[in-house]
């Protein structure tokens, strides 16, 4: 019998003894007067004398995180909502039955207490307990109290234990919630409405990525989990919803890394009658405000860098390549060096001759693709401070509007912060004829073997044919933004249940007897 099983059975036995005291094993309710954080906030500053002068009666619930027995008395710490408060349980005050219950409690049990606040000899704010209410038993042992749960795999697989043991983890997810609510507040106040568009789509459009496939039985059709909500949100601007946003999951059937989870959360928003310049201003305001709402400051530390969301630089893609052009590759390029496949090929050759960068090159690909790859090879890693990188090649931007004076370039920008790409925005292409040509271009890319090239979406072109107002649209990766604002180096640290390979049967830590398998059809 494993230790874990032994403890499980011992504690079940204690649960029976608790019932023998006439108490419910799993009571339904406990009414409290304060949360523990409320008590800490309100009474931490109060002195012993103040607490004695005005007796503060409280009812508090929480999980037992430490127990120190003293024979006929004892101290313990209750944890709730990220706060810890000491309780003092004395036989004289809680009575024989109450103390018998106290002795049957284990680390991890959930209890409620009634009592009054006081300060101990060592001046720790505590509850002098008059009643103990048993609320739920922890049948499995918690991790060690001093080091907590360190094992990364266990932390992700059993996030519930991680959250109990590691206060910082709790803080990250509270911050994540604030990120989302701050975004909603900001956009709502500017007249945006939140909408929900299909997660299951007959065509997976709006981004370049491989989708997950699923099947609807009644209609007998294959569907794709969306890789982006983009094309649906833009249909809404055709319909006259001028300012819309959606915060929800996208699914991409691609690799897992510290920056990628197959399902991730994206804010996408569209503003009619605006172009990408308007969105640049809006983005700077939005992200500075979100940072303030989450952390109280626009500054954050990520990967050893101090980053200020209140201080943005704007660089065009070509400017960025020029700015960060490596010395080993000779003198900096001129703007004219990006015009045409021949000139771009010459730049690539200079990089290759310098042997310092991983710069993929296929002369058959459009020059725009090569320039984008050059940006990634030369400049991207340097974009630590918040940067709006603007003006992208049309070849990699099938949904963006051309620059009026440079048809090979589009009005598009991406957001780079801390070396992460956290957003993508553009003046939306709303010319259905041009959109059709772009899709056709994508189709030929697909035929050349690009699995992630866009599919033709006839209904989307039909929607544009009814007239879509000029609009700017943007996507912001919520997970990565949260990483930056919480200093988390892995995306798994900002996703409560990141995708992991499931354990094989028998590898689980479960010690309970097998439960009868419920009929899945009758299981809500």
Partner RNA sequence: GAGCGCGUAGCUCAGUCGGUAGAGCAACGCACUUUUAAUGCGUGGGUCGCAGGUUCGAUUCCUGCCGCGCUCACCA
Stretch that binds RNA, among 153-161, 216-224, 291-299, 457-465 (CB under 7 A): 153-161
Q: Is 304 in the site for RNA (CB under 7 A)?
A: no
Query: Are 372 and 355 within 8 A, CB to CB?
Result: no
Which of 198, 269, 203 has the alpha carbon at shortest distance from 439? Answer: 203
Q: Which of residues 362-421 bind RNA (CB under 7 A)?
A: 414, 421
Q: Which of 102, 192, 245, 264 binds RNA (CB under 7 A)?
A: 264
Which residues in 195-214 contact RNA (CB under 7 A)? 207-209
Provide CB contacts within 8 A for 474, sequence distance 6+.
267, 268, 269, 270, 279, 283, 423, 424, 425, 426
Q: How far is CA 214 from the centre of its chain?
A: 25
Q: Between residue 234 and residue 253, which ones bind RNA under the rule CB under 7 A?
A: 252
510 binds RNA (CB under 7 A): no
The distance of closest approach from Cβ of residue 34 to RNA in the complex, given in angstroms and rounded to an integer, is 19
What contacts 122, CB < 8 A, 6 or more positions away?
A: none
Binding segment for RNA (CB under 7 A), chosen from 49-57, 175-183, 256-264, 292-300, is 256-264
The count of C-alpha atoms lying within 13 angstroms of the C-alpha of 484, restricted to the half-sphere facing its C-beta, is 28
C-alpha 207/C-alpha 397 separation (Å) is 9
* The binder of RNA chosen from 124, 285, 311, 459 (CB under 7 A): 124
Q: Which two tokens stand for residue 56?
A: 């503060």
Residue carrying the six token digits 């340097």:
382
Output 238 or 400, the one with its CB closest to RNA: 400
Q: What is the DSSP letter of 28?
A: S
Report the C-alpha gap between 86 and 449 in whole angstroms: 64
Of 7, 200, 341, 443, the residue at the interface with RNA (CB under 7 A) is 7
Which stretch, 24-32, 89-97, 197-205, 317-325, contacts RNA (CB under 7 A)?
89-97
- Minimum distance, C-beta of residue 107 to RNA, in the bound complex (Å): 5
Please, which residues have CB within 8 angstroms of residue 427's CB and are 6 or more apart in sequence?
Answer: 275, 276, 400, 401, 410, 411, 412, 470, 471, 472
Residue 25 Cα to chain centre, angstroms:
37
Residue with tokens 């103390």: 99
Binders of RNA among residues 93 to 122 (CB under 7 A) are 106-107, 118, 120-122
d(CA 259, CA 357): 22
Residues of this chain, 311-350, that bind RNA according to CB under 7 A: none
Tell which one of 113, 399, 422, 485 touches RNA (CB under 7 A): 422
Task: Kindly identify the residues of this chain, within the stretch 18-77, that bind RNA according to CB under 7 A.
Answer: 66-73, 75
Query: Residue 272 or 388: which CB sits closer to RNA?
Result: 388
Q: How far is the CB of 453 from RNA (least distance, A)?
A: 10
Q: Which is nearer to RNA, 51 or 61 (CB)?
A: 51
Min dist. Cβ of residue 329 to RNA (A): 18
Both structure tokens of 109: 């049990």
Number of residues that bind RNA (CB under 7 A): 79
User: Which residue intervals of 265-366 are DSSP H helices?
Assistant: 276-295, 317-323, 341-354
CA 217 – CA 156 distance, rounded (Å): 33
Which of 33, 120 has the CB closer to RNA? Answer: 120
Q: 475-504 mask for RNA (x: CB under 7 A)?
A: x-x-xx--------xxxx-----x-xx-xx
Which of 40, 56, 91, 278 forms a contact with RNA (CB under 7 A)?
Answer: 91
Among 95, 345, 360, 363, binds RNA (CB under 7 A): 360
Residue ranges in 217-236 that form contacts with RNA under rule CB under 7 A: none
């Amino acid at each position: 019998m494993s230790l874990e099983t032994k403890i499980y059975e011992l504690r079940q036995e204690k649960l029976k003894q608790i019932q023998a005291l006439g108490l419910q094993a799993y009571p339904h309710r406990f009414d409290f007067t304060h949360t523990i954080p409320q008590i800490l906030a309100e009474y931490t500053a109060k002195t012993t004398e103040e607490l004695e002068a005005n007796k503060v009666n409280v009812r508090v619930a929480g999980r037992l995180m430490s127990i120190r027995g003293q024979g006929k008395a004892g101290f313990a710490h209750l944890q709730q909502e990220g706060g810890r408060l000491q309780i003092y349980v004395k036989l004289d005050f809680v009575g024989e039955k109450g103390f018998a219950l106290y002795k049957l409690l284990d680390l991890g049990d959930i209890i409620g207490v009634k009592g009054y606040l006081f300060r101990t000899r060592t001046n720790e704010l505590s509850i002098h307990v008059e009643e103990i209410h048993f609320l739920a038993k922890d049948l499995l042992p918690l991790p060690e109290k001093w080091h907590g749960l360190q094992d990364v795999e266990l932390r992700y697989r059993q996030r519930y234990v991680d959250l109990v043991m590691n206060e910082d983890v709790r803080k990250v997810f509270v911050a994540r919630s604030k990120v989302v609510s701050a975004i909603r507040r900001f956009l709502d106040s500017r007249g945006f409405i939140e909408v929900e568009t299909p997660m299951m789509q007959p065509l997976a459009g709006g981004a370049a990525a491989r989708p997950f496939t699923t099947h609807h039985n009644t209609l007998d059709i294959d569907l794709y989990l969306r890789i982006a909500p983009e094309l649906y949100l833009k249909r809404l601007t055709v319909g006259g919803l001028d300012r819309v946003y959606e915060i929800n999951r996208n699914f991409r059937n691609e690799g897992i890394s510290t920056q990628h989870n197959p399902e991730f959360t994206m804010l996408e928003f569209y503003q009619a009658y605006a172009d990408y310049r308007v969105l640049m201003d809006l983005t700077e305001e939005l992200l500075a405000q979100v940072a303030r709402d989450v952390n109280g400051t626009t500054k954050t530390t990520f990967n050893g860098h101090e980053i200020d969301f209140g201080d943005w630089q704007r660089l065009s893609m070509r400017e960025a390549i020029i700015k960060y052009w490596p010395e080993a590759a000779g003198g900096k390029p001129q703007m004219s060096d990006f015009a045409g496949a021949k000139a771009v090929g010459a730049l690539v050759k200079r990089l290759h001759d310098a042997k310092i960068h991983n710069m993929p090159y296929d002369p058959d690909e459009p020059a725009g693709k090569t320039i984008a790859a050059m940006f990634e090879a030369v400049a991207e890693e340097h974009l630590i401070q918040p940067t709006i990188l603007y003006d992208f090649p049309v070849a990699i931007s099938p949904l963006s509007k051309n620059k009026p004076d440079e048809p090979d370039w589009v009005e598009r920008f991406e957001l780079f912060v801390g070396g992460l790409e956290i957003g993508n925005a553009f003046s939306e292409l709303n010319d259905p004829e041009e959109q059709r040509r772009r899709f056709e271009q994508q189709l030929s890319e697909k035929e050349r073997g690009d699995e992630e090239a866009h599919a033709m979406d006839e209904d989307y072109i039909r929607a544009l044919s009814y007239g879509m107002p000029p609009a700017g649209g943007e996507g912001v990766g919520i997970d990565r933004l949260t990483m930056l604002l919480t200093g988390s180096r892995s995306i798994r640290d900002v996703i409560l249940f990141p995708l992991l390979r499931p354990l094989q049967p028998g590898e689980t830590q479960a010690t309970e007897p097998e439960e009868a398998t419920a009929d899945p059809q009758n299981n809500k």
